[in-house]
């Protein structure tokens, strides 16, 4: 007869314990019974905020009910355990069930900590923990306009994002401590994060002690200890967690003075037949509020129960990397050690919202820890360097300023790690585990590694490291590393480009019929379409090409919030005449469009119905405008300062050169979008060093920089040529762009393209400057051909009836507009009505 294992709690850790036990053959050895108090199976709380628009509850669910049945697990939902009797090894539930057990697993997790604040019971005050909490928040948010969150930690900032997603117009975060995320980042990092969140419309209040929640039955405001008040009509309390140990107390198990079920290194409680895992467990005075240590606890207990050799739980590294409301935040190792106990190196760029701090040992041999805000791309290798006590560079600042390609590349770095290095902390997968899977079991793709090891299936933060390790393993074993674009083409992007060019193929169907198989997919269709556009520069919406385009390309416009489209005319160099400004204003008035001057020195028009796009563009084209290609993987803008035209510091005519550069490369299709800039002097007002290619004037000519970019992962561009003439600068850009177009992977920006290049910047210089490949003359000629073939896509669209008829919402009623599109006023203009309001 099987022994019975009963699990109290069906959250992420409770589910993971069941999964681990089943994987170790436990369902043949034990009868497994699970009690959950929620009405649904376990779901992903880590990505709970995705419930507001990105994911359904089905997508968040860890496993469907059928999984429990298939693995002979009895799951009781909406039936919490009310009593546990260790002396008789029985328990009782809310529904009246009485169940005996041989082993009992507490996976009761935690509950939100709610401070003792007067008025906390009022309508409109919520906690942020379950799907039911989120459903109630959704309902209340429809009638709220000002929201606040108590708590500036990880959960609090996630709750603030939830308020934004719910369409709350004004959002505040209230933090008792003097800084945000006090357990993860320092004051300087908090200041940077505060600025970044402020740009997103979240107002941060630190050093605030909430005294009272005011109002009648419903919340109307908040009062603070310093006498200040805040008017709000919705409040989310996310001030931390408290372990769910109340049932353990009833059972007579030992608990900590501040909460938590006491466990030893085997995760056993004071009763050896009862274990506690996850956020309810107190180990060595520590409650672990992350999912990864809970998963490790689950694995340790499962191994013990089935009699397999198991390690002890001796603590867990609390290093973490998150994307909070679009902002990268990471801390690792000992982030707060201070001088003189270490040497601290800090890089700070307030204009781009980047803060990086590393702490190194005084002998400059070891990395002790650090903090990353705004750009956490280096997190994985920094964490590995810290945890595995790897040697650091002679110049430690290279760890955060970065090295380019060659021996400093990510794949070579991860291969130097020891086999016991933990690559995926969520599932406790080591480098050695992954090496064995690739070498011994032939699992040589990321998807196969996911299935065999569960790596990358938790938070997903280890995926880049797993990819680099996979490539490194395959190279070390003499395996061919091929980045085939998808299952329908057994070729890399570079190979397809060459094959298409040699065979003069002009449509996606021709390429698929000749070199592919099957019907294609959403990966290869836009990739091949991009190749065709880069080679021939034909109109992307002609028959045979139109259906293979990316969604934005299909309408020559970016699809925006609310189902409308944006109109972005090209304004080369940012220079525009008063007459053209008037035309934009008249068009915006006529079609009721929202207008905004962008950071790229042009004017965006938002809120256009799809059926109005041809008419709008017809008027703009008549006034001399062209497509700005804001929707395409192509050149967007060439930003400029005024240079010698007006500025007393200018040394070259930046505006004229920017216009020349933009007009040369406009419409050029590439693996990803391209941005450029021309600055008239070293003061760099056009920010050329944050562009894919940037040009800065000198007394003798121009300095050319390449492979930089702004955005979510800002990178400084690298200097490739100095004091060159305008003519030579154009030639160098021709060569650089053609080399990039021919060798980059799909959707790869120029910065990561250079990062992955063998030989890095030195090799790129040898190709572009010294003609190491003997291709420069050919590339210049090919660029001339593409430039000569340029036609404004929107001009062709409005003048070609076959293309123009595509732009309708209802095919059978082309004059009708989408009735679901709704707007609301915003500062004398309009904005798309919030989705929740539209759905109501």
Q: State the DSSP string of 141-195.
A: HTT-SEEEEE--SHHHHHHHHHHHHTT-SEEEEE-SSSSSSTTT--HHHHHHHHH
Quick one: what percent of the chain has pLDDT higher than 70?
96
Torsion sign, CA atoms 795, 800, 803, 808? positive
Kindly tell me if the per-residue pLDDT of 635 is higher than 60: yes
Instruction: Compute the average pLDDT of residues 646-673.
Output: 95
3-class DSSP assignment, residue 575: coil
Using the 8-state DSSP alphabet, how is residue 333 labeled? Answer: E
Question: What is the DSSP secondary-structure string of 697-721?
Answer: E-SSSEEEEES-B-TTS-B--EEEE
Q: CA-CA distance, 813 to 821, in Å (whole number)?
A: 17
Instruction: Show Cβ contacts of residue 623 under 8 Å, excluding neighbours closer than 6 positions.
Output: 579, 580, 583
pLDDT confidence of residue 224:
96
Instruction: Tell me how far apart the 2 most distant CA atoms of the chain are, in Å.
Output: 91
297 φ, ψ to 5°? -60, -45
pLDDT confidence of residue 550:
72
Kindly tell me if the per-residue pLDDT of 60 is higher than 70: yes
3-class DSSP assignment, residue 91: strand
Instruction: Compute the average pLDDT of residues 277-300.
Output: 94
| pLDDT, tens digit, 9 for 90 and up, residues 551-610 | 688 889 988 877 788 999 999 999 999 999 999 999 999 999 999 998 889 999 999 999
Give the Å distances, CA to CA, from 569 to 326, 561, 600. 28, 20, 12
Q: SS3 letters for 385-452?
A: HHHCCCCCCCCCCHHHHCCCCHHHCHHHHHHCCCCCCEEECCCCEEHHHHHHHHHCCCCCCHHHHHHH
Buried b (16+ CB within 10 A) or exposed e, 739-758: bbbbbbbbbbbbbbbbbbbe
Of 840 and 611, more confident = 611
pLDDT confidence of residue 404:
39
pLDDT confidence of residue 415:
86
Q: CA-CA distance, 307 to 125, in Å (whole number)?
A: 48
- What 37-41 contacts at long range (C-beta under 8 Å, 24+ apart), as own/partner pairs, is 37/9, 37/78, 37/79, 37/80, 37/94, 38/10, 38/77, 38/78, 38/130, 38/131, 38/132, 39/77, 39/78, 40/77, 40/131, 41/10, 41/15, 41/65, 41/68, 41/75, 41/77
Sheet containing 210-214: order of strands:
210-214, 221-224, 229-231
% helix, strand, coil for the chain, step of 5: 35, 20, 40
In contact, 423 and 465? CB cutoff 8 Å: yes
Using the 8-state DSSP alphabet, how is residue 255 labeled? Answer: B
Output the average pLDDT for the chain: 90
3-class DSSP assignment, residue 5: strand
432 φ, ψ to 5°? -60, -40
477 φ, ψ to 5°? -95, 5
Q: CA-CA distance, 133 to 127, in Å (whole number)?
A: 7
pLDDT confidence of residue 139:
92
Kindly tell me if the per-residue pLDDT of 329 is higher than 80: yes
In contact, 400 and 355? CB cutoff 8 Å: no
In contact, 110 and 280? CB cutoff 8 Å: yes
CB count, 10 Å around CB of 365? Answer: 12
Please report how many Cα atoms fall inside a 13 Å half-sphere around the Cα of residue 176, on the Cβ side. 11
Q: CA-CA distance, 386 to 365, in Å (whole number)?
A: 11
pLDDT confidence of residue 242:
94
Instruction: Compute the average pLDDT of residues 36-50.
Output: 89
**Structure-block tokens of residue 26:** 């436990």
Q: Which helix (H) or strand (E) holds 85?
A: strand 81-85
pLDDT confidence of residue 402:
60
pLDDT confidence of residue 405:
37
Least Cα distance to 14 among 31, 29, 35, 30 occurs for: 35
Kindly tell me if the per-residue pLDDT of 835 is higher than 70: no
Instruction: Show Cβ contacts of residue 799 under 8 Å, excluding neighbours closer than 6 positions.
Output: none
In contact, 141 and 147? CB cutoff 8 Å: yes
Q: Where in the chain is the domain with CATH 3.50.50.60?
A: 3-110+243-305, 125-239
pLDDT confidence of residue 320:
84
Q: CA-CA distance, 31 to 761, in Å (whole number)?
A: 61
Of 445 and 79, more confident = 79
Kindly tell me if the per-residue pLDDT of 698 is higher than 90: yes
Q: Does domain 3-110+243-305 have CATH number 3.40.640.10?
A: no
The gap from C-alpha 732 to its chain's centroid, in whole angstroms, comes to 33
CB count, 10 Å around CB of 326? Answer: 10
**Structure-block tokens of residue 51:** 């419930």
* Ranges 507-516, 524-533, 723-732, 802-811: which has the least confidence: 802-811
In contact, 383 and 333? CB cutoff 8 Å: yes
Predicted TM-score (pTM) above 0.75: no
Instruction: Show Cβ contacts of residue 522 under 8 Å, excluding neighbours closer than 6 positions.
Output: none
Looking at the chain, how many residues does it have? 840
| pLDDT, tens digit, 9 for 90 and up, residues 740-759 | 999 999 889 999 999 888 88
Strand partners, 110: 243
Q: CA-CA distance, 312 to 307, in Å (whole number)?
A: 14
pLDDT confidence of residue 839:
40
3-class DSSP assignment, residue 233: coil
pLDDT confidence of residue 54:
64
Q: Which helix (H) or strand (E) holds 508?
A: helix 508-515
Q: CA-CA distance, 498 to 479, in Å (whole number)?
A: 23
Q: CA-CA distance, 343 to 359, in Å (whole number)?
A: 6
pLDDT confidence of residue 288:
93
| pLDDT, tens digit, 9 for 90 and up, residues 447-497 | 789 889 988 887 777 887 888 888 888 888 877 667 778 778 888 899 999
pLDDT confidence of residue 772:
93
Of 61 and 167, more confident = 61
| pLDDT, tens digit, 9 for 90 and up, residues 595-621 | 999 888 999 999 999 999 999 999 999
pLDDT confidence of residue 712:
59
Q: Which CATH architecture has domain 125-239?
A: 3-Layer(bba) Sandwich (3.50)
Confidence of residue 832 (pLDDT cuts 50, 70, 90): confident
In contact, 407 and 221? CB cutoff 8 Å: no
Instruction: Compute the average pLDDT of residues 721-732.
Output: 97
Least Cα distance to 162 among 261, 242, 54, 75 occurs for: 54
Kindly tell me if the per-residue pLDDT of 840 is higher than 50: no
**Structure-block tokens of residue 271:** 């009763």
Work out whether strand 210-214 and strand 221-224 pair parallel, antiparallel, or are unpaired. Answer: antiparallel
- The four Cα atoms 445, 449, 455, 458 give a dihedral, to 10 degrees, of 80
Kindly tell me if the per-residue pLDDT of 410 is higher than 50: no
Strand partners, 701: none
CB count, 10 Å around CB of 780? Answer: 16
In contact, 605 and 594? CB cutoff 8 Å: yes
500 φ, ψ to 5°? -65, -40
Q: CA-CA distance, 677 to 693, in Å (whole number)?
A: 7
Confidence of residue 634 (pLDDT cuts 50, 70, 90): very high
Confidence of residue 797 (pLDDT cuts 50, 70, 90): very high
- What 774-783 contacts at long range (C-beta under 8 Å, 24+ apart), as own/partner pairs, is 775/735, 775/738, 775/739, 776/731, 776/735, 779/734, 779/735, 779/738, 779/739, 780/731, 780/734, 780/735, 782/738, 783/734, 783/737, 783/738
3-class DSSP assignment, residue 506: coil
Please report how many Cα atoms fall inside a 13 Å half-sphere around the Cα of residue 203, on the Cβ side. 11
Kindly tell me if the per-residue pLDDT of 314 is higher than 80: yes
Question: What is the DSSP secondary-structure string of 729-794?
Answer: HHHHHHHHHHHHHHHPPTT--HHHHHHTSTTHHHHHHHHHTT-TTS-HHHHHHHHHHHHHT---HH
Instruction: Compute the average pLDDT of residues 54-61.
Output: 84
Confidence of residue 351 (pLDDT cuts 50, 70, 90): confident
Kindly tell me if the per-residue pLDDT of 811 is higher than 70: no
Instruction: Compute the average pLDDT of residues 405-417.
Output: 58
């Amino acid at each position: 007869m099987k022994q019975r294992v009963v699990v109290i709690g069906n959250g992420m850790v409770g589910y993971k314990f069941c999964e681990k036990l089943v994987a170790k053959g436990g369902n043949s050895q034990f009868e497994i019974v699970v009690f959950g108090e929620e009405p649904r199976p376990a779901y992903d709380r880590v990505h709970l905020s995705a419930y507001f628009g990105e994911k359904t509850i089905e997508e968040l669910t860890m496993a469907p009910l059928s999984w429990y049945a298939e693995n002979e697990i009895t799951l009781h939902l909406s039936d919490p355990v009310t009593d546990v009797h260790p002396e008789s090894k029985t328990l009782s539930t809310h529904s009246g069930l009485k169940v005996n057990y041989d082993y009992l697993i507490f996976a009761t997790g935690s509950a939100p900590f709610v401070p003792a604040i007067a008025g906390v019971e009022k309508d409109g005050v919520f906690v942020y923990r379950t799907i039911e909490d989120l459903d109630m928040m959704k309902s209340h948010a429809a009638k709220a306009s000002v929201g606040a969150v108590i708590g500036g930690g990880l959960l609090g900032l996630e709750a603030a994002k939830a308020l934004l997603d719910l369409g709350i117009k004004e959002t505040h975060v209230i933090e008792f401590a003097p800084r945000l995320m006090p357990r993860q980042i320092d004051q300087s990092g908090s200041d940077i994060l505060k600025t970044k969140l402020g740009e997103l419309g979240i107002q941060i209040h630190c050093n605030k002690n909430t005294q009272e929640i005011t109002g009648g039955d419903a919340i109307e405001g908040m009062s603070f200890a310093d006498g200040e008040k805040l008017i709000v009509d919705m409040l989310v309390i996310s001030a931390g967690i408290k372990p769910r140990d109340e049932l353990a107390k009833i059972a007579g198990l030992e608990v900590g003075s501040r909460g938590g079920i006491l466990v030893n290194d085997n995760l056993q409680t004071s009763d050896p037949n009862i274990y506690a895992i996850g956020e309810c467990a107190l180990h060595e005075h520590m409650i672990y509020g992350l999912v990864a240590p809970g998963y490790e606890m689950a694995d340790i207990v499962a191994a013990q129960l089935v009699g397999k050799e198991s390690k002890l739980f001796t603590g867990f590294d609390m290093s973490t990397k998150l994307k909070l409301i679009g902002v990268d935040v990471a801390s690792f190792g000992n982030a707060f050690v201070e001088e003189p106990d270490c040497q601290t190196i800090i890089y700070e760029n307030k204009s781009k919202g980047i803060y990086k701090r590393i702490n190194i040992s005084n002998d400059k041999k070891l990395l002790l820890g650090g903090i990353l805000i705004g750009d956490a791309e280096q997190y994985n290798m920094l964490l590995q360097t810290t945890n595995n006590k790897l040697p650091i560079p002679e110049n430690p600042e290279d760890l955060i300023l970065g090295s380019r390609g060659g021996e400093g590349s990510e794949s070579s770095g991860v291969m130097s790690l020891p086999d016991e290095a933990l690559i995926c902390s969520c599932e406790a997968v080591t480098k050695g585990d992954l090496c064995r899977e690739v070498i011994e079991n032939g699992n040589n793709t990321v998807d196969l590694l996911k299935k065999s090891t569960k790596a990358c299936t938790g938070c997903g933060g280890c995926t880049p490291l797993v990819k680099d390790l996979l490539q490194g393993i395959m190279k070390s074993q003499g395996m061919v590393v091929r980045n085939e674009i998808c299952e329908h083409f057994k070729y890399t992007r570079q190979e397809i480009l060459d094959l298409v060019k040699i065979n003069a193929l002009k449509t996606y169907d021709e390429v698929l019929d000749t070199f592919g198989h099957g019907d294609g997919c959403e990966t290869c269709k836009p990739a091949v379409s991009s190749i065709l556009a880069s080679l021939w520069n034909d109109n992307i919406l002609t028959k045979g090409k139109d259906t293979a385009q990316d969604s934005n390309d299909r309408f020559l416009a970016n699809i925006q919030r609310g189902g409308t489209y944006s109109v972005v005319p090209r304004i080369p160099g940012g220079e525009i005449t008063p007459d053209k400004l008037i035309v934009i204003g008249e068009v915006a008035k006529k079609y009721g469009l929202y207008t905004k001057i962008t950071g790229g020195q042009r004017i965006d028009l938002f809120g256009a119905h799809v059926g109005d796009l041809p008419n709008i563009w017809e008027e703009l084209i008549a006034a001399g405008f062209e497509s700005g290609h804001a929707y395409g993987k192509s050149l967007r803008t060439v930003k400029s300062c005024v240079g010698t035209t007006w500025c007393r510091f200018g040394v070259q005519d930046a505006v004229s050169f920017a216009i020349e550069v933009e007009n040369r490369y406009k419409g050029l299709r590439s693996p990803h979008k391209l941005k450029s800039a021309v600055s008239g002097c070293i003061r760099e007002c056009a920010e050329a060093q944050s562009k894919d290619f940037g040009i800065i004037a000198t007394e003798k000519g121009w300095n050319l920089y390449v492979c930089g970019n702004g955005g979510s992962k800002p990178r400084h561009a690298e200097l490739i040529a100095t004091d060159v003439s305008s003519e030579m600068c154009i030639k160098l850009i021709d060569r650089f762009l053609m080399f990039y177009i021919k060798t980059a992977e799909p959707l790869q920006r120029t910065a990561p393209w250079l990062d992955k290049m063998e030989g890095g910047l030195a090799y790129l210089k040898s190709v572009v400057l010294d003609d190491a490949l003997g291709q420069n003359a050919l590339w210049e000629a090919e660029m001339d051909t593409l430039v000569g073939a340029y036609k404004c896509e929107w001009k062709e669209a409005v003048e070609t009836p076959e293309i123009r008829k595509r732009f309708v919402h209802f095919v059978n009623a082309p004059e009708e507009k989408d009735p679901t599109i709704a707007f609301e006023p915003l500062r004398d203009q309009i904005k798309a009505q919030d989705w929740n309001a539209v759905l109501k």
